[in-house]
Amino acid sequence: MRGERGSRVVVTGLGAVTPLGLDVASTWCALREGVSGIGPITHFDAAHLPARIAGEVPGFDPVAMFGTKEARRTSRNIQLAVAAARQAAEHSGLDIAELAAEVGVCIGSGIGGIEILEQATRTLDAQGPRRVSPFAAAAALIDSAPGAVSMDLGAKGPNRAVVTACATGADAIGDAAAWIRDDDAVAVLAGGVEAAITATGMAMFGAARALSTRNEDPEHASRPFDRDRDGFVAAEGSAVLMLENRDHALARGATIHAELIGYAATADAYHITAPDPSGDGATRCIAGALRRAGVTPADIDYVNAHGTGTTLNDIAETRAIKTVFGDAADTVPISSTKSMTGHMLGAAGAFEAMVCILAMRDGFVPPTINLDNPDPECDLDYVPLVGRSAPITTAMSTSFGFGGHNACLVFAKDQP
């Protein structure tokens, strides 16, 4: 990062499709106003499931975007990723065709095209193997999303799918930044995508007792750090950032929205789903990102917390922040935007990195809605209910996933 060898990495483009909107502007507007994107599931009949609510992307029309044939052949996972990547590419103003082999794609997903697997299984059971679509394998694979983005935009540089559960989007950004610092790419479309609001996806997370079952009150179901939380709310969406070599961005006159100054990743080595209750893995991850960024906890003006709304995660994250930040933990504003979007799983880390950048741009901390009765063990400034204006020059995003994966990103306003 700033203190390491290699090129400095900046953000020149943003793209997103989320439960709050089909682009960055509408999503950010809803976040600022504290709007919930959670509602009853409409993608399938969820009446038989314990959790029947989710954060679905509203009004997304793949046929209008890709045409009937391509929409039929691709998964929703691919479609959402391409939609967000197109936005980020356009926002950056980068001529990808001119650079081609110097533009990479690093977009991950926790689960991939799960609805394609469901369809293939139903067809196999009902009609036999010959009736399974020849496009099913490619459409279901997690690496098909970055592959499709590269074909759609003509990016011929390094291409990778990252899979670290709920830390995926953050790790994809960290990996992409390394390509730029090592001169393997001039620019990289980096982020995450998830489209797991399917019967199987919801049943799996429900069986793990991870989901909120506040079905009669979906807008208030996602309650990070609240005493009455009962699990996370699953969501779909995609967020993609255009990362770029800072010298290249300046030479072409690009608008620099932020600089990525720190990234770290660790493992809990504790449990396949539960976080280490001591917060050890998260603590080491946050401390490592700050060290690489060359900043102290007192320099952080805003933290976008992982904040899932599960009992164990919220407490472990609070402990980790307290351990690393010390006295500064009591004064830094922290919020969980999952209270509004739900948990976009593999896309969450990239989206929440984007929120940090927008918060710096506008000097505004989005709220943690539904935080009516704070858990006594989650006693930091989690910006309850209503957002607030604040000067922000450096911001941090935390992401922690099933399997004990931890990732942390630190962004700052661009400086000479």
Q: What is the pLDDT of residue 334?
A: 98
Q: How confident is the model at residue 1 (pLDDT cuts 50, 70, 90)?
A: low
Same domain, yes or no, for 101 and 242? yes
Show Cβ contacts of residue 230 under 8 Å, excluding neighbours closer than 6 positions.
212, 213, 214, 223, 309
Domain end, chosen from 226, 251, 276, is at 251
Q: How confident is the model at residue 5 (pLDDT cuts 50, 70, 90)?
A: low
| 258 belongs to a structural domain | no
| 3 belongs to a structural domain | no
Q: What is the pLDDT of residue 416?
A: 81
CB 77 within 8 A of CB 345: no
CA distances, 328 to each of 41, 85, 98, 323 (Å): 40, 36, 46, 10
Structure tokens, 305: 């917390």
CB 270 within 8 A of CB 193: no
User: How much of the chain, in percent, has pLDDT values that exceed 90?
Assistant: 96
Full-model pTM: 0.97
| 4 belongs to a structural domain | no
Q: What CATH number did the domain enclosing 244 receive? A: 3.40.47.10
Domain end, chosen from 202, 227, 251, is at 251
Q: What is the pLDDT of residue 83?
A: 98
Q: What is the pLDDT of residue 6?
A: 75
State which residues form the domain around 133.
9-251
Q: Report the alpha-carbon distance of residue 366 to residue 371 in Å, rounded.
A: 13
Q: Mean pLDDT, to the nearest integer, of 16-39?
A: 98
Same domain, yes or no, for 85 and 172? yes
Quick: pLDDT tens for 305-355: 999 999 999 999 999 999 999 999 999 999 999 999 999 999 999 999 999
Show Cβ contacts of residue 192 under 8 Å, excluding neighbours closer than 6 positions.
107, 108, 109, 162, 168, 169, 172, 238, 239, 344, 346, 347, 348, 349, 350, 351
Same domain, yes or no, for 306 and 343? yes
Q: Mean pLDDT, to the nearest integer, of 83-87?
A: 98
Quick: pLDDT tens for 358-369: 999 999 999 999
| 1 belongs to a structural domain | no
User: Does 85 have pLDDT greater than 90?
Assistant: yes
Sort residue 293 into left (φ over 0), alpha (ψ -120 to 50) or beta: alpha
User: How much of the chain, in percent, has pLDDT values that exceed 70?
Assistant: 99
Q: Mean pLDDT, to the nearest integer, of 8-30?
A: 98
Same domain, yes or no, for 219 and 108? yes
Same domain, yes or no, for 278 and 325? yes
| 160 belongs to a structural domain | yes
- Count of beta carbons in the 10 Å neighbourhood of residue 388: 13
Where are the extended beta strands (E) located within 246-301?
258-267
Q: Mean pLDDT, to the nearest integer, of 249-265?
A: 98
Of 133-137, 198-202, 259-263, 360-364, least confident by mean pLDDT is 133-137
Domain end, chosen from 251, 286, 316, is at 251
Annotated catalytic sites, by residue?
166
User: Does 68 have pLDDT greater than 70?
Assistant: yes
- The one-letter code for the residue type at 119 is Q
User: Does 271 have pLDDT greater than 50?
Assistant: yes
| 277 belongs to a structural domain | yes
Same domain, yes or no, for 182 and 271? no
Could you give the number of structural domains in the chain? Answer: 2
- Count of beta carbons in the 10 Å neighbourhood of residue 224: 29
Q: Report the alpha-carbon distance of residue 198 to residue 300 in Å, rounded.
A: 38
Query: Average pLDDT, whole number, for the chain?
Result: 96
Same domain, yes or no, for 315 and 361? yes
What string of H, E and C letters represents the secondary structure of 332-384?
Answer: CCEECCHHHHCECHHHHHHHHHHHHHHHHHHCEECCECCCCCECCCCCCCCCE
Same domain, yes or no, for 229 and 306? no
Q: Which of 263, 306, 270 is nearest to 286 (CA)?
A: 263
Same domain, yes or no, for 290 and 335? yes
Same domain, yes or no, for 159 and 122? yes
Same domain, yes or no, for 153 and 297? no
Q: Mean pLDDT, to the nearest integer, of 2-13?
A: 80
Structure tokens, 379: 């006693």
| 204 belongs to a structural domain | yes
User: Does 36 have pLDDT greater than 50?
Assistant: yes
Q: Report the alpha-carbon distance of residue 54 to residue 22 in Å, rounded.
A: 16
CA distances, 165 to each of 169, 186, 317 (Å): 9, 27, 17
CA atoms within 13 A on the CB side of 241: 34
User: Does 301 have pLDDT greater than 50?
Assistant: yes
| 2 belongs to a structural domain | no
Q: What is the pLDDT of residue 4?
A: 52
CB 323 within 8 A of CB 315: no
Q: Mean pLDDT, to the nearest integer, of 254-281?
A: 95
Same domain, yes or no, for 97 and 168? yes
Quick: pLDDT tens for 187-238: 999 999 999 999 999 999 999 999 999 999 999 999 999 999 999 999 999 9
Number of H-type helices and E-type strands within the chain = 15, 14
Residue with tokens 């976008």: 304
